[in-house]
Structures are given as structure tokens and as C-alpha cells.
Amino acid sequence: MINIIWFAMLITGIITAIIKGNMEMITKATIEGAEQAVTVALGLTGIIAFWSGMMEIAKEAGLMNFLARLMSPIAKRLFPEIPSNHPAMGAILLSFSANLLGLGNACTPLGIKAMEELQKLNQQQETASNSMCTYVAITASSLTLIPSTVIAFRAANGSVNPTEIIGTTIFATTISTLAAILVDKVLRNFYY
């Protein structure tokens, strides 16, 4: 569906440019956009490689497992229908740990694994379970202590102090996560 929306926006823009006689704007925007994409991608490569390496070091040092153990009591209350020793709980906790460290690129495969494991526990295969909905809500709100990906973007774009957003990020993501949990609980009680 999203491909159709993007295609429609692209065609609408081109048709509008032709009607207004500004086809050179399309060409200029395309070239400038491509240049900018390459510049940003190259600037991020080193920083993302650094944070991916830090993620591996954190895994090997046991930081990810430590964070997962630390969050385990909270996770048991958020996901009461998941057995403690089930692989879904482990995948969820590792995914949350990656989110806490602001490693969105590392969180994605863990999130997919968590959803696969949650689907195995799901009684109604065609409908998302309560645990799946809760997981998506919390992951989307993304409680973050170290916004490493955003710091990487800011550094790649020449920010004088790319880490100055840490405090506001912690505040904003804490509020968004609490709101996601609250809305999830309210809707869960409302519909069941």
C-alpha cells in the first residue's frame, strides 16, 4: 500500500511540474536529493559501524543480558500471558535493551524474532494477541537512554554538540512509553 502512495505522490509531482512548466525543478531536485542521500549515507557509515561495534561489545560484556534481567520483573507484569522461560520473553527483553541504547538498527531483527515467537503463542493466528499489541506499542514509543542513532545523524550533519539531546530524549521517550502502556491497558480493558 505504501508503494502505491509513494508512486501516486511522485506522479502527481511530475504532472504538476509539467503543467506548470517547471520540469527542470524535478531534474534539479532529483540530482540534489541523490547527492544529499549519498553524503548523509557516507557520513553515517562510520558512526553506525562504531555503534554496531559498541552493541557487539555490550552483548559480549553481558550488558544486554544485564539490562534484560533488570527489566524482567517489569516485562512479566506487561506480558503476563508469556511464560518467563519462553523464547518470546528473551527476544522482547533483548529488543527493549537495544531500544534503551538507541540502537534501532539492532532492534529490528530482535523485534522480528520477538513477533515470530509471540505468534507461536497466539491462539488466534489471524489476529494480533494482547502481547503482540503491547509489544508494538512499547517498541513504537521506544524508551531510549542513549539515542545513538540520532547522535550519529547529528554528528554526520555537523552538530557542534550532538549529545545535547540525551536529557530531552530520556524525558520524551519516558513520557511516550508511559503513555503507550497506559493506552494499551485502557484499550485492552475497554475491548475485553
Higher pLDDT, 51 or 6: 6
Task: Quote the distance between the C-alpha of residue 154 and its chain's center.
Answer: 17
For 108-153, the pLDDT digits (tens) are 777 888 899 899 998 888 888 889 999 999 988 888 888 877 887 7
Identity of the amino acid at 67:
L
What is the mean pLDDT of the segment spanning 66-94? 83
The whole-number pLDDT of residue 104 equals: 66
CB of 26 closer than 8 Å to CB of 14: yes
Question: For the whole model, what pTM was predicted?
Answer: 0.66
For 152-187, the pLDDT digits (tens) are 778 878 889 999 999 999 999 999 999 999 999 898
CB of 102 closer than 8 Å to CB of 135: no
For 33-50, the pLDDT digits (tens) are 888 888 777 766 776 677
**Residues composing the chain:** 192
Parse the chain into domains and list their residue ranges.
46-191
Task: Quote the distance between the C-alpha of residue 170 and its chain's center.
Answer: 15
The whole-number pLDDT of residue 106 equals: 66
18-27, 30-39, 64-73, 119-128: the lowest-pLDDT one: 64-73
For 50-64, the pLDDT digits (tens) are 766 776 787 788 776
